[in-house]
Amino acid sequence: MSTFRLDKYLADAGIGTRSEIKNYIKKGYVTVNGEPTKKPDIKISPDDDEIVFQNQPISLSEFEYYLLNKPAGYVSATKDNTAPTVLTLIDSKRKDLFPVGRLDKDTEGLLIITNDGALSHRLLSPKRHVDKTYFAIVDGIVTKADVTLFEKGLEIGDDDLDIAMPAQLIIEKIDPEQNISHVTITIQEGKFHQVKRMFQAVEKKVLYLKRIAFGPIALPHDLPLGDSRILSKEEISMLQKF
């Protein structure tokens, strides 16, 4: 495991802010290998050093991984001044967690939360072509012609440079009376409002959107909306190998 500054390690463990922790250290509340320290910037190794705060050992894994069933109304960010963030739904004291990519505020479904920056970068890299699958309810009747257009790629902006890569569109259910369609769509990009803009390009509107899979990970049917769970070792391994 890597080495860390003592104050950053304690902050990531949720003990307090960096300024609060520096004050705790000055007051002798923190010991390293049984000895009080007054230096917040000393380097420690969680594998080799015993860190204790007010007689409580502090143990912190280098990385944490969560699977969240995001509800509408939450912003996929670490901070926001207008709405609650997805991190408020995660039961962790860590201060270094972040969402892998983003879902729109009104979009539900699978979102991975972690502090593993290298894994996040690989999963979001356009060169990796990681599948992202959504269930959508669309205002309008989706046709086989739409499916073909999605397969070819669509212009989704004001100029011919803003083109969405080919995507797989599957028609699940058509309701002619209500003029709506239930579909699944798999894309390999993460452009701003991409799914909504793709349907706008074929003169239809997304009424409801939920991500149901990200790469090899599918949204569990038994995970309630707004709840999260820790990814299993097998799931983490799948993401790392993907």
Of 213, 191, 193, the C-alpha closest to 131 is 213
The token pair at 213 is 């899979």
Torsion angle (degrees, nearest 10) of CA 76, 82, 88, 94: 80
Q: What angle do CA 115, 117, 123 make, to 5 degrees?
A: 110
Torsion angle (degrees, nearest 10) of CA 171, 177, 180, 184: -20
Annotated active-site residue in 96, 104, 131, 139: 104
Residues 140/204, Cβ–Cβ less than 8 Å: yes
DSSP labels for 83-125? Answer: S-BGGGGS----SS-EESS---TT-EEEEEEES-HHHHHHHH-
Burial class (CB in 10 A: 0-12, 13-18, 19+), 9: buried
Of 144, 92, 134, 82, the C-alpha closest to 111 is 134
Please indicate whether residue 104 is annotated as part of the active site.
Answer: yes
Which residues carry out catalysis? 104
